[in-house]
Structure 1
Amino acid sequence: MDLTKLFGCKVFGDEAMRENLSREVYESLKRTQDTGLPLEENIAAAVAEGMKDWAVSHGATHYTHWFQPLTNITAGKHDSFIEPAGNGKIILEFSPKALIKGEPDASSFPSGGLRATFEARGYTAWDPTSPAFVRDGTLYIPTAFYSYTGEALDQKTPLLRSMEALNKQCLRLLRLLGNTKTNYVTPTVGAEQEYFLIDRDAYEQRLDLKICGRTLLGSRPPKGQELDDHYCGRIRLRVAEYMRALDEELWSLGVSSKTKHNEVAPAQHELAPVFDSANVACDHNQLTMEVMRVVAKQQGLACLLHEKPFAGINGSGKHNNYSLCTDDGLNLLASSKDPEENLHFLLMLAAFVSAVDQYADLLRASAASAGNDHRLGGFEAPPAIISIFLGENLTQSLCAAGNGGGCGKEEHKMLKTGVSTLPDLVKDDSDRNRTSPFAFTGNKFEFRMLGSSQSIAFTNTVLNCALADVFEDFCKRLEKAGDIRHEIRAIIADVVKEHGRIIFNGNNYSQAWVEEAKKRGLPILNTSLDAFECLLDQKNIDLFSRQGVFTPVECSSRYEILLENYIHVVSIEAATMLEMVRRQIYPALVRYAGEVARSVNEMKTAGVSAWSSTKHLHSLNDIIDQIDSEIEGVREAYVRSHSIENIREHALYLRDVLKVRMDSLRTACDAAETITDDQYWPIPSYTDILLRV
């Protein structure tokens, strides 16, 4: 297999554009992709014709405007290229209008009150900065999604707006620092994707996995991740074959899948791509999640992307690695040996410190969901407290720069291996802190709070927007300064003084840090419902408005959408749990208890002591009664929740009452599983699921 030919073979990328477009059209489209300049209408017509011819040559019969509504998954309606030509014949046609504009139903997607049922019209608009691709006989055209009245109804539009705001303010700052070569700045992202891979047959036998994506019942297996023997261990043959097929499909679609390995929990794995622009990285991550599920099904497997598919073992996250790169090859988060350049690097670090401290609540909200509530703070993921890890060296350098100290980069120290045949290794500036939610890791920041099923778009929108705002503040100060270098140091000093509280280089899992965070006044938003409230905070509404990313109406609509999603997820889980327990668990326990009772009677009739069996029967009967009582508690809370009209009160009731009763029902059922004959237990156990692949 020639990987260089396989990669991007299904993408209308640079090579395909060169082959199917004239030089003038190609160069115009490239300018739009590279700089964001609008595309001329006559150019769009030529692009549409060339794109259609290329897609048809790759087996496409349909096209779709591929967009990202506020559901964490993608959508699109598929239209064929055929048009009647008369005499019973057809022609293949793809107009520039069909390329540029689509009209999906905007009332059938989450809108947070922006669209009523009778207000159905919406628009999709072609995003030429993200390449089209062919998949399963359809040409996929990445698009933004708007309501008839102009509000963004998707993940892409705010992300693109935030990228423009960031580019504008960062370029302004670079000019003040003496950089005249850079033409645009792009936030680049690499999204590490964690997932579970289980046997399809076991998946199909679990209603909770099929409907909710996670197990609502299940006692812990005898062996989980206690021996630390799964992480980066040998990849099982069946999993290796899945990973091979997944890589090949992703590569053909232009997704630069780079790294694969076993994660900490049994049956858990990770895929990591190469960095790309935030917009393309977001599209690629959405595509990756879709392909992962499809390839798994083809291989007789199921790919689980829920944040916590199994209680008692690690859940799955998505690490958002973020940096700022320029068109002339600079990484603005890379330190330098040159003192002047390193002062500029420290100014960039100060910008991140300021942005994260001022908008920690928004970053927390960007990682908030009903699924992620099960994962955050569980000694497997960062706690629900935002902080930044810089490492002691960088923290000291930042403080020293603000106090007028040196800004030169220290020489890297060497790690002596002590073995003559092994090379001595160059040490990095700092260790890694895997407990930190926002850690500097060399030339990028890694935001580790995101859940595995979530879109990365909102997190990067918040980061872009917050940084743009901080850069704007820095620029205003520098534009008034007589001595730029002196003012840079003053800015860094002020950031350390005002926002240094967000820097924490220790163990984020410790209770001591929770107490310390309270003393520092950091927001502690333990659940998603706590975090969602910040979207209504005036300072955050003002931020989005200043940078042109969200209108106040769009902020409130997203708040409502997040609450609605939380309500739907928890309600569906409760209904699924009731169905499983009523129709599977409870009847199975009654049958098993009946079998034990018959055995007890037979033993007594035979004159054999049945003391132990009788004790077991009483235990079964007690737990059956407990489950019956807990079922009623969940049912009552579920019914009561539907009578609460206020959306916020509804969500809070689910969190504070219904979920607590569901936990009690689960505890009883899990206890029953441990004393029930395996032949009678009606659903695959954790051991069956996690060790079958």
Structure 2
Amino acid sequence: MSFDFSRFGCKVFNDAVMCEKLSKNTYKSLRRSIDLGLPLEPEVADVVATAMKDWAVELGATHFTHWFQPMTSFTAGKHDSFISPQKDGKVILEFSGKELIVGEPDASSFPNGGLRNTFEARGYTSWDCTSPAFVRDNTLYIPTAFYSYTGEALDTKTPLLRSMEALNRQALRVLRAFGNKTATHVTPTVGAEQEYFLIDREKYEQRLDLKLCGRTLLGAKPPKGQEMEDHYCGRIRLRVASFMKQLDEALWELGVTSKTEHNEAAPAQHELAPVFESVNVACDHNQLTMEVMREVAKKNGLACLLHEKPFDGVNGSGKHNNWSLSTNDGQNLLDPGKTPYENLQFLVFLSAVIIGVDKYADLLRMSAANTGNDFRLGGHEAPPTIISIFLGEQLTHVLENIADGANPDQTPSCVLETGVATLPKLPKDDSDRNRTSPFAFTGNKFEFRMVGSSASISIANYVLNTIVADSLMEIANRLENCVDFDGEIQKIVREAVKTHGKVIFNGNNYTDDWVVEAEKRGLPNLSNTVDAIGAMVEPKNIALMERHHVMNEAECLSRYEIMLENYCKVISIEGHTMAQMCRREILPHMVEFAGKMAESYEKLAKMQVYNANIEEFVRELSTLITEVDDLCCELDIELDQCDQIADYVENARFHRDSIRRVMAELRTAVDRAERLVSSDAWPIPTYTDLLYRV
């Protein structure tokens, strides 16, 4: 049956529901709080809470939860029922304004980077009324911010909300300088494309590495990978199509505008893309999408893998964070229009992005750093670790002309000729798309392609919002105090190109030549997570965050500590998992198979049949058994040693340089053994089993 689109958002306490369930005055008061960022009055909160509870109960809800996003890339929340015991032994359903607005989870049990001690457990969740509540699994989910007893942000949402306010404040100043009095709010909007893998659940359950680490720590390359390029946008298998249909319908009921879906480049890899929305809601919806993906996959006998590199040798997964700026009066501030060379307002906002990205390239790189992304970035399947901007030929030409003091001319619009009479003539875009660029302008938005598939997009977006807000603040200061307005704009654009244009690159980011060129330009190349996350505590970056009240120094330091600690924990779990798989699964089967081959050789020898190849085969496998066992012992020693390193930075470097080195050597040995041992004797599903059995 087809989906009844009248049910879109039926599980969301959205504007239509608020209009229906609230009195006119209550609705106006709530809308005022949402639109203007004002606190909700207690008496209004009580009325809203009762209406929200009644609506949720109608949909089968028995509980409510303050849904928040701690610094784990996952979501959290404790669930409380609506019931309230009465003296007669019965219960009634109650939900107060106080319960709606404020919750109190344990603040010391989540990553906090030293902001909380174990004995200092108090923390708060506070209702974010700009992101609508929804019902899921018989529970009313209330999106909230999460912060400590002393007021520091313990989540990813709070800095995001602060960055949105900073960007709005500075963007409005620039618009006012241009004489725009109708725009009262500027909102960053995002559409986050989500890549993922689907594999058979039964095979997934047979792999300890997939269950504990989300990626295969072992596995030889299959005979066929993605060489034929036959999977990308190809026919969707029936089982996957059924999953996608159920996923769409589940997301649509939750108000998530799942729009586009297709097969990605690697076998068993797919992508989902939503429609643009406010960055705050988009971040919440992306977290929700990942959770629903896992649930729907399990119901269909599948496992959804969101790790950045679940399979070695085939493309990994990312998130394409499409970011733009919209005003309440309907403008897209990054839309160049038909004549970008005349669109001074667009050129100013474009200059702000260029300045911000160049000045804070290290911070933007940090926002996409995690252990999984280290395997993906720079692997000719994703952008390299060097931040650069793709603008396309026309915009680059316009900016260069302004920088040189020439009159920018218009690149003539073209028609795409197909050579087929029956096909319509198509208008040709001003520039091609550059899939190798980490930060590409794609018509009226920027696509930040570095973000990992498992990560929260909140971090990338609060960094992006803040660095652009900082540029806009400097521009607003100049425009508000200048004498020659048009002349000042020319100076701003010219300086942006002359001073920061080194970050613009329209070529192939995958080539070695670009790495050399980027170094000549002085662009940072933070090739791994340990180096990249150091940007969080650079003095200029802390000053930036404090200047716009997005994070204070303590909050920046806490995030740095959390990222280092998480890096170590992830690799440690992977190391212990790998050692256990090798000792309890791989080695016993290698020994058993070698023994059987040796017995076969002895039986043949008794028959006066001598085969040197069989003898050599057993010797080779025996050598690999020794190598695997020795490397397991070495890995154990390295893992024990890292437990003795107290300094977070030193420990992270040790995990990166020593533990991952041994793991790579151990994997090479095991993968060689997989090619020797018969398929019925190999204890875990192979890449062929995982990638081609859906």
What's the TM-score once normalised by structure 2's chain length?
0.99
- The code of the aligned residue for 2:533 comes to F
Letter in 1 for 2:195: E
SS in 1 for 2:320: strand
Question: Match for residue 259 of structure 1?
Answer: 260
Q: CA deviation at 1:338?
A: 5.6
SS of 1:265's equivalent in the other structure is coil
Q: Which residue of 2 aligns with 1:642?
A: 643
Moved more, 391-400 or 511-520: 391-400
Corresponding letter in the other structure for 1:614: E
* Cα deviations by residue, 1:196-218 (Å, 9 ceiling, x for unpaired): 00000000000000000000000
- CA distance, structure 1, for counterparts of residue 614 and residue 117 of structure 2: 62
CA distance in structure 1 between the aligned counterparts of 2:342 and 2:154, rounded to whole angstroms: 41
- How far apart in 1 are the matches of 2:69 and 2:117? 20
C-alpha contact 2:340 2:346 (8 A) present in aligned 1: no
Give the corresponding residue for 1:374: 375
Name the counterpart of 2:201.
200
2:464 maps to 1:441: no
Looking at structure 2, the residues matched to 533 and 47 of structure 1 have their Cα atoms a distance apart, in angstroms, of 44
- Please tell me the residue identity of whatever aligns with 2:149: Y
Shift in Å, 1:31: 2.5
Per-residue deviation, 1:634? 1.0
Residues 532-561 of structure 1 show CA distances to partners (whole Å, capped at 9, x for unaligned) of 111111000000000000000000000000
**What letter matches 1:401 in structure 2?**
I
User: What does 1:392-541 correspond to in 2, within 5 Å?
Assistant: 392-406=393-407, 410-541=411-542
Alignment of 1:13-52 (within 5 A): 13-52=14-53
Answering whether residue 63 of structure 2 is matched by residue 87 of structure 1, we say: no
Contact residue 403 and residue 498 of structure 2 kept, 8 A: no
Q: Measure how far apart 1:412 and its partner are.
A: 2.6
Letter in 2 for 1:239: V
- The alpha carbon displacement at 1:403 in A equals 4.0
1:610: Cα distance to partner? 2.2
Distance 1:409 1:467 in 2: 27
1:131 aligns with 2:128: no
Using a 3 Å threshold, how does the CA distance of structure 1 residues 404 and 660 change in structure 2: closer, same or farther? same
Residue 431 of structure 1 aligns to a residue in which SS? coil
Offset at residue 235 of structure 1 (A): 0.1
Paired residues, what number? 693
One-letter identity of the residue aligned with 2:540: K
The aligned residue for residue 552 of structure 2 is: 551
Structure 1 residue 14: Cα displacement:
1.5
Cα distance in 1 for partners of 2:257, 2:412 equals 33
Q: What does 1:290-369 align with in structure 2 at a 5 Å threshold?
A: 290-337=291-338, 342-369=343-370
Structure 1's consecutive aligned runs of 4 or more residues displaced over 6 angstroms after TM superposition are: none
Separation (CA, whole Å) in 1 of partners of 2:595 and 2:206:
24
- Residue 4 (str. 1) matches residue 5 (str. 2): yes
Moved more, 476-485 or 375-384: 476-485
* Superposition map of 1:608-687 within 5 A: 608-687=609-688
Name the structure 2 match of 1:166.
167
The 2-side partners of 1:513 and 1:353 are apart by 19
- Please state how far the C-alpha of 1:399 moved relative to its aligned partner: 2.0
> 1:149 matched to which residue of 2?
150
Please give the residue correspondences for 1:110-121 in structure 2 after superposition, counting only pairs within 5 Å: 110-121=111-122
Distance 1:646 1:86, change over 3 A: same
1:233 and 1:3 mapped to 2: Cα distance?
Answer: 27
Asked whether the 8 Å contact 1:350–1:398 carries over to 2, the reply is no
Aligned residue for 1:285?
A: 286
Q: What SS does structure 1 have at the residue aligned with 2:271?
A: strand
Aligned to 1:179: 180
Moved more, 206-215 or 394-403: 394-403
Shift of 1:586: 0.4
Shift of 1:568: 0.4
Give SS of 1:674's match.
Answer: helix
Counterparts of 2:625 and 2:425 in 1: how far apart (Å)? 63
The offset of 1:84, in angstroms, is 1.2
> Is 2:394–2:411's contact at 8 Å kept on the other side of the alignment?
no
CA distance in 2, matches of 1:341, 1:458: 34
Shift of 1:343: 1.6
Bigger Cα displacement from structure 2, 341-350 vs 562-571:
341-350
For residues 321-367 of structure 1, the C-alpha deviation after alignment (integer angstroms, 9 at most, x for no partner) is: 00000000000010124678612111111111100000100010000
Cα contact 1:339–1:407 (8 A) shared by 2: no
The Cα of 1:396 is off from its aligned counterpart by: 1.0
- 1:406, CA displacement in angstroms? 4.2
Equivalent residue, structure 2, for 1:389 = 390
The CA deviation at 1:131 is 0.2
Identity of aligned residues (%): 61
Mapped partners of 2:4, 2:178: distance in 1: 42
Q: Which amino acid aligns with 2:262?
A: H
| 2-structure distance, mates of 1:163, 1:483 | 30
Change in 2 beyond 3 A, CA 1:408/1:324 = farther
The range that moved more, 225-234 or 470-479, is 470-479
Task: Give the Cα separation in 2 of the matches to 1:254 and 1:518.
Answer: 45
| Structure 2 CA distance for partners of 1:125 and 1:658, relative to 1, 3 Å | same
| 1-structure distance, mates of 2:646, 2:339 | 62
**In the aligned structure 2, how far is the partner of 1:486 from the partner of 1:415?**
37
2:691 corresponds in structure 1 to 690
CA positional deviation for 1:411: 4.8
Partner of 1:97: 98
The normalised TM-score by structure 1 is 0.99
Q: Is 1:224 the equivalent of 2:196? A: no
| Displacement after TM superposition at 1:607 (Å) | 1.4
8 Å contact from structure 1 (residues 122, 146) kept in 2: yes
Q: How much has 1:632 moved relative to structure 2?
A: 1.5
Question: What one-letter code is carried by the residue in structure 1 that aligns with 2:571?
Answer: V
Per mean C-alpha deviation after superposition, the further-off stretch among 308-317 and 398-407 is: 398-407
Q: Unpaired segments of 5 or more residues in structure 2?
A: none
1:248 corresponding residue in structure 2: 249
Contact 1:402 1:491 in 2 (8 A): no
CA offsets, 1:243-295, max 9 Å, x none? 00000000000000000000000000000000010000000000000000001
The structure-2 alpha-carbon separation of the partners of 1:500 and 1:219, relative to structure 1 and needing over 3 Å to count, comes to same
Q: Secondary structure at the match of 1:86?
A: coil
Between the aligned partners of 1:405 and 1:24, the Cα distance in structure 2 is 57
